[in-house]
Amino acid sequence: MTSAAAEAAEIIASRAGDRGRTVAVAESLTGGRLGATLAAAPDAARWYRGAVTAYCPEVKHTVLSVPDVDPVSETCARAMATAVCALLGADLAVAVTGEAGPEPAGAAAVGTVWCAVCDGGVVDSWRLELGGEPQPSPERIVARTVERVLVEVAGRMSSGAAGPGGSASQ
């Protein structure tokens, strides 16, 4: 875990605790690392509801009600966030799905990541492009995703905003 990810998780813990809010995670690409980072934050038992790690498309479909779409897509990330928020009874949920490589499994390029936040029923999503030349390792893509997502959520919780209300590419 990077220091920026740990710092962001501490901000999320503080804001969630101060505001009596709960947080949940649905993740694929990150394989449990996003949830593990939040679970390691202070007082997690008070505000962290848990995570669903849905690495396999069938799990996305059956547990998180993701429609039959490309698993590396905005639609998938938004469905994951909405479903885990309801499933775990959280006030805010974050979802991550993407392609870490080393070879692409579908149409998405290695380093493509879709993220979504469901906050009070409002869903916002954004895309990260973490590939490039030379192509980063799958481990590096996962680490950068965890860091960037936690920093984004910490910022949203600090401002009290659910987000810009639409898709944005970063």
Q: For the chain, list the domains and their CATH numbers.
A: 3-165 (3.90.950.20)
Q: 30 or 164: which carries more pLDDT confidence?
A: 30
Mean pLDDT across the chain, nearest whole number?
89
pLDDT at 170: 39
Collapse the DSSP code of 73 into the 3-class scheme (helix H, G, I; strand E, B; otherwise coil) and give the result: coil
Alpha-carbon span 163 to 3, nearest angstrom:
24
Confidence of residue 1 (pLDDT cuts 50, 70, 90): low
| Residues 25 and 41 sit within 8 Å (Cβ to Cβ) | no
Alpha-carbon span 6 to 147, nearest angstrom:
8
| Residues 62 and 123 sit within 8 Å (Cβ to Cβ) | no
pTM summary value:
0.89
| Residues 51 and 34 sit within 8 Å (Cβ to Cβ) | yes
pLDDT digits (tens, 9 = 90+) for 18-62: 999 999 999 999 999 999 999 999 999 999 999 999 999 999 999
pLDDT digits (tens, 9 = 90+) for 103-147: 888 889 989 999 999 998 999 999 999 887 777 888 888 888 989
Tell whether the model's pLDDT for residue 168 goes beyond 50: no
Alpha-carbon span 112 to 71, nearest angstrom:
11
For tokens 């690392």, what's the residue?
Answer: 33
